[in-house]
């Protein structure tokens, strides 16, 4: 059975990481017997903090080790590292109660290492296939997810605030994704909304509006304090509304 893969993207600063962490919380509660993987595709590794995880190694650490061997002329060691990377990635996966975590790491270094990048992306897809649910917290834009994680997702979740710029960004991402990424479903989740009546004036470009998440002081406190979102109260407005959106999106 293919995994359900939810990839979150949108304009920077709209709260994708908080929503990603909350989705992981909801999935672990809803499906305690399922295998859930959280992938942090943002170089800042903010999802790790939000989920109370401290990764010791990232995918880019593995990639950099291989590239360093190539640039130093040690082809034999480089090929051995490529062969071993499958096992190294499994070592990079952090196990937590109810879910597993993998960090992608820094942006790719300059230079062309297409074979290495392609191989590691294939390994990531292989790892993801071992799980029932995969939640990807991506950088702004879809290209980075497509290039460095996988080419197919089941659910593309576009996150925006109520700004015109935010909406234009998610519509552009949808257009790019239609050419570059295979996805089954796409939807918009509006976040940090002070006045829901303003939503009627927003143009979603025909993309389904999955839900409206209100501004919540609890989330701000968790962000500022670096608290674990897995401990976020179930009756918090953010948790309630995201759960409804996931139901509408046929994720749960």
For residue 38, what is the domain's CATH number? Answer: 3.40.50.300
- Asked if 9 contacts 156 with a C-beta cutoff of 8 angstroms, the reply is yes
Which phi-psi region, left, alpha or beta, contains residue 141 (left: φ > 0; alpha: ψ -120 to 50)?
left
* 3-class secondary structure, 99: strand
Q: Quick one: how many helices (H) and strands (E) in the chain?
A: 9, 8
For tokens 């609890």, name the residue: 218
How many domains is the chain built from?
1
Residue 172 has pLDDT above 80, yes or no: yes
Q: CA torsion, points 79, 84, 85, 89, in degrees to nearest 10?
A: -170
CA-CA-CA-CA dihedral for 240, 95, 152, 33, to nearest 10 = -60
Q: From its phi and psi, is residue 80 left (phi > 0), alpha (psi between -120 and 50) or beta? A: alpha
Mean pLDDT highest for which of 20-29, 162-171, 201-210? 20-29
The candidate with the shortest Cα–Cα distance to 206, out of 252, 242, 175, is 175
Q: What is the pLDDT of residues 102-155, one digit of tens each?
A: 988 765 555 545 555 566 677 778 888 999 999 999 877 666 555 556 678 999
- What digits encode the pLDDT tens for the residues 9-68? 998 889 999 999 999 999 999 999 999 999 998 777 799 999 999 988 888 888 787 777
**What torsion do the CA atoms of 156, 157, 158, 160 make, to the nearest 10 degrees?**
180
Domain limits for position 22: 4-248
Q: What is the pLDDT of residue 229?
A: 97
Query: What mean pLDDT is reported for the chain?
Result: 86
Tokens of 51: 């989920």
């Amino acid at each position: 059975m293919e995994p359900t893969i939810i990839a979150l993207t949108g304009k920077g600063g709209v709260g994708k990481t908080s929503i990603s962490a909350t989705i992981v919380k909801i999935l672990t509660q809803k499906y305690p017997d399922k295998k859930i993987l959280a992938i942090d595709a943002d170089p800042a590794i903010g999802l790790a903090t939000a989920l109370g995880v401290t990764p010791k190694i990232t995918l880019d650490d593995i990639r950099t080790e291989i590239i360093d061997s190539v640039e130093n002329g040690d082809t034999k060691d480089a090929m051995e590292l490529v062969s071993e990377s499958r096992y190294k990635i499994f070592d990079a996966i952090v196990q937590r109660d109810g879910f597993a975590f993998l960090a992608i790491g820094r942006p790719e270094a300059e230079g062309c290492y297409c074979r290495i990048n392609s191989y590691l992306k294939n390994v990531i897809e292989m790892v993801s296939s071992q799980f029932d649910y995969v939640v990807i917290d991506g950088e702004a834009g879809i290209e980075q997810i497509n290039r460095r994680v996988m080419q197919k997702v089941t659910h593309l979740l576009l996150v925006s605030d109520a700004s015109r710029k935010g909406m234009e960004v998610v519509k552009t991402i949808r257009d790019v994704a239609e050419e570059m990424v295979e996805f089954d479903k796409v939807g918009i989740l509006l976040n940090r909304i002070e006045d829901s009546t303003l939503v009627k004036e927003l143009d979603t470009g025909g993309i389904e509006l999955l839900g409206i998440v209100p501004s919540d002081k609890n989330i701000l406190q968790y962000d500022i304090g670096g608290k674990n979102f897995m401990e976020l109260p179930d009756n918090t407005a953010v948790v309630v509304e995201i759960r409804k959106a996931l139901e509408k999106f046929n994720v749960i």
